[in-house]
Amino acid sequence: MLLVDPSLISEIDNFASESLGIPKRALMLRAAEAVASAVRSYVSKGSKIRILAGKGNNGGDGYAAATLLMRDYDVKVYDVFSAGQRTDEGRYYLTSYAAAGGAIEPLSFDGASLSDIRSSDCIIDAVFGTGFAGELPKIAVNLAKELASINDKTILAIDVPLGVNATDGSICDGSLYRATATVALGFVKPGLVSYPAKEYVGKLIYDNIGLHNDEILSNFAFDSYYTDYELAASFIPKRQENSNKGSFGKLLMITGSLDFPGAAHLSLEASLRGGVGYVTYLGEKDLCDSLISKLPEAIYKPYSLNDLTPESLDEISSLSARHSATLIGSGSSRSEGLRRLLIRLLCDEGSPIILDADAINVLSENPEEGRALIKNAKRTVILTPHPLELSRISGIPTDEIQSKRLAVAKSFARECNCILVLKGAATIVTDGKETYVNSSGSSALAKAGSGDVLAGFLAALVASGCDPLRASALATYFHGLAADVLAEELSAFGVTPSDLPREIARQLAKAISQH
């Protein structure tokens, strides 16, 4: 699904009006129809509806919706800022609603107004739309707090809940209420599907209000996407029947350690399920001996990262150059040998390299040097950190990362010239220019080892020739989907990372058969 930054919305509205001949008043009516439809799906005729209207187009949508709903519901609009409407189309629907006998009152925090709002069956938040940014005015903060205290009513937000930043998913101070549902109009905005804002959005009800057409899509540059099933499935690489193992690339894996042997097993099995033609595993001899009995498909090369010589660094660098992707770091344990190898691989020319877990942690021991190595690498670099790992390499506090996940992820990827897979709820995949917000996954993945599976699967897709950015979005989605399907049977408690590789393969098979 396409995500559209709020900064483009007014441009699209103007284009629709001036070039496509769709009056803004007509767009507002279509928005109102979408809101009215949502109301009817939640509350029955005759119910008490209270609309909180701001002074911009979001408030205009509220007045237009009130006009449609007043025939079947007990409707009243509260003018939040006592300022009426500032746009021509907003004033038109305010006037239409008032002329039809609609009740409008200024919002006050006296007992009567709050009692009336609290006693309603459905509250519609039409205070701020996509154009709002910055700090909430005091009256809006107080209103958000009042809404947060109402737990037993349906609260529908028009386009954006009060206090949510639709661009980056951050939350204004004081915005604590959680909408029952948000009616996203025209296009879904990135902030609505990214945490922490996603927690406040409720059910997302999308209506394109006639804007999702070929003329608009071809006249604007879009760079953000919500990775759903259809989009992820479209990224699955085609496999020709007239092919051989050499057709699907070679993956070099430097994962696991004697301290964390499970990481090696999980990442290796996931890579073997990911479609790559060859997998070469490089690690401690005892670990290789253990893995070969369970996963005989890989090629094993015993090496100790603790005993690297200049000659062995040359050998591994040459080996990496002969493979179509390299994965390093999953459960590797931090060591001087790993640091030396990373520096060598990042400085040498080669195919894409995926840095996971301890590869990121080792580079974070000197964050400024680590970021420089990533930025100046002579190969495509993909990082797969969780928030704490990103904090270590970026120097940005974890709580700041979590409060502005989209903005931080895009900024880091852009500044370090890499692809970033910021793991967590609604995982973000971005190269700083194009961004994917993942829609799959749950707390079933909140277990040690899940990231090892993701890294192995992602690396296999890249090695087999899939575009690195799309491979990252594809891997993230099917990794989450596998967990979701397994959780239906086993619950989020019962899914283990070991369950994931085979289920990922099953879900890929279903997607391939349907496309």
CA nearest 382: which of 474, 278, 488, 246? 474
What is residue 130's DSSP assignment? T
Helix or strand (DSSP H, E) at 204: strand 203-207
Looking at 188, 222, 256, the residue that finishes a domain is 222
Tell whether 191 and 312 lie within a shared domain.
no
How confident is residue 174, by pLDDT bands cut at 50, 70 and 90?
A: low
pTM of structure: 0.93
Residue 310: partners with Cβ closer than 8 Å, 6 or more residues away: none
- Count of alpha carbons within 13 Å of 91, Cβ hemisphere only? 5
More confident residue, 67 or 135: 67
Tokens of 359: 């590869």
Looking at 222, 250, 281, the residue that finishes a domain is 222
Tell whether 286 and 400 lie within a shared domain.
yes
Instruction: Check: CB of residue 329 under 8 Å from CB of residue 356.
Output: yes
Tell whether 130 and 248 lie within a shared domain.
no
Q: What is the mean pLDDT of residues 337-349?
A: 96
- Provide the pLDDT for residue 439: 97
Instruction: Check: CB of residue 226 under 8 Å from CB of residue 435.
Output: no
Tell whether 240 and 378 lie within a shared domain.
yes
What is the domain-level CATH number for residue 315? 3.40.1190.20
Residue-wise pLDDT tens digits, 4-30: 998 888 898 889 888 888 899 999 999
Residue-wise pLDDT tens digits, 357-381: 999 999 999 999 999 999 999 999 9
Instruction: Check: CB of residue 498 under 8 Å from CB of residue 486.
Output: no
- Beta-bridge partners for 37: none
Instruction: Check: CB of residue 334 under 8 Å from CB of residue 257.
Output: no
Looking at 222, 243, 263, the residue that finishes a domain is 222
Residue-wise pLDDT tens digits, 120-157: 999 999 999 886 777 888 999 899 999 999 988 999 99
Tell whether 296 and 247 lie within a shared domain.
yes
How confident is residue 175, by pLDDT bands cut at 50, 70 and 90?
A: low
The whole-angstrom separation of Cα 205 and Cα 40 is 13
**CA dist 59 to 91, 95, 142, 338, 359, Å?**
10, 13, 18, 57, 50
| pLDDT at position 101 over 90 | yes
Tell whether 145 and 240 lie within a shared domain.
no
What is the domain-level CATH number for residue 165? 3.40.50.10260
Tell whether 206 and 242 lie within a shared domain.
no
The whole-angstrom separation of Cα 153 and Cα 345 is 57
Q: Which long-range contacts (CB under 8 A, 24 or more apart) does 507-512 make?
A: 507/478, 507/481, 507/482, 508/236, 508/478, 511/229, 511/232, 511/233, 511/236, 511/478, 512/236
How confident is residue 240, by pLDDT bands cut at 50, 70 and 90?
A: confident
How confident is residue 242, by pLDDT bands cut at 50, 70 and 90?
A: low
- The pLDDT > 70 percentage for the chain reads 99
| pLDDT at position 441 over 70 | yes
Tell whether 279 and 153 lie within a shared domain.
no
**CA dist 423 to 166, 383, 394, Å?**
20, 10, 15
CA nearest 66: which of 91, 114, 103? 103
Give the per-residue SS3 of 274-343.
Answer: CCCCEEEEEECHHHHHHHHHHCCCCEEEECCHHHCCHHHHHHHHHHHHCCCEEEECCCCCCCHHHHHHHH
Tell whether 64 and 169 lie within a shared domain.
yes
Tell whether 21 and 165 lie within a shared domain.
yes
Domain total for the chain?
A: 2
Helix or strand (DSSP H, E) at 399: helix 398-403
Tell whether 158 and 274 lie within a shared domain.
no
Q: Give the type of residue at 188.
A: V
- Provide the pLDDT for residue 134: 74
Tell whether 270 and 135 lie within a shared domain.
no
Instruction: Check: CB of residue 266 under 8 Å from CB of residue 451.
Output: no
Buried b (16+ CB within 10 A) or exposed e, 235-254: bbeeeeeeeeeeebbbbbbb
Range of the domain at 88: 2-222
